[in-house]
Amino acid sequence: MSTVSYYSPEGLKKLKDELNQLRDVERPKASQAIADARDKGDLSENAEYDAAKEAQGHLEMKIAKMEELLANARVIDETQLDTSRVLVLSTVRLKNRQNGQELTYTLVAESEADLKSGKISVTSPIGKGLLGKKAGETAEIKVPNGTLKFDILEISR
């Protein structure tokens, strides 16, 4: 069962570029490695051949997953985002109730998540806990360490 994933235009381009790299560069390398190993003699005792075939299988599986992801990908027009509620691609300024620290996160698709740049996945516990909330509300989010409480200070694009 496929699920739709939402991406920014940059995130979708990055996904397409990665898929093209796998198809156009990595796939021919894997085929060449199999051909080179095949040329070394008896295939029944050729560990190099077995390893090359296994690597090719993993590569093909990764390509198939990425193709499915792209087939179900949708680009979000950031100019049309409603900033009254937290949605995918919303930037949310939060205040942690326990320590008073202010944080700013942008909710993105799982493949675009990068905590260092403030991008968290909508499928993460915090991302799920923020979706649909309004500015001024408090989000209580269950995480492995317990429950975090965040005041939602501001929602923007």
Q: Considering only CA atoms, which of 8, 149, 15 is closest in space to residue 74?
A: 8
**Structure confidence at residue 1 (pLDDT):** 46
The pLDDT value given to residue 93: 93
Same domain, residue pair 83 and 62: no
149 strand-pairing partners: 140
Residue 71 and residue 89 share a domain: no
Pair (54, 36) in one structural domain: yes
Regarding whether 134 and 86 lie in a shared domain, the answer is yes
What pTM, to 2 d.p., does this model score? 0.63
Residue 81: its pLDDT value, please? Answer: 66
The residue range of the domain holding 9 is: 5-75
Same-domain status, 21 and 70: yes
| 83 and 119 assigned to the same domain | yes
**Domain C-terminal end among 75, 96, 112:** 75
Residues 87 and 148 in one domain: yes
| Rounded Cα distance, 15 and 28, in Å | 20
Q: What is the pLDDT of residue 143?
A: 84
Do 88 and 66 belong to one domain?
no
Per-residue confidence (pLDDT) for residue 153, from 0 to 100: 92
| 92 and 151 belong to one structural domain | yes
Q: How many domains does one find in the chain?
A: 2
Which domain CATH number covers 54?
Answer: 1.10.287.180
Query: Measuring CA to CA, which residue among 151, 133, 52 is closest to residue 90?
Result: 133
What pLDDT does residue 78 have?
A: 66
CA nearest to 140, candidates 105, 104, 94: 94
From first to last of its 157 residues, what are the pLDDT tens digits of the chain?
Answer: 457 777 778 888 988 999 999 999 999 999 999 888 888 777 677 788 888 899 999 999 999 999 988 888 888 776 666 678 888 888 999 999 989 999 999 998 887 888 899 999 888 999 999 998 988 999 999 888 889 899 999 998 7
Looking at residue 36, its pLDDT comes to 87
User: Could you tell me how many residues make up the chain?
Assistant: 157
Contact yes or no for 80/157 (Cβ under 8 A): no
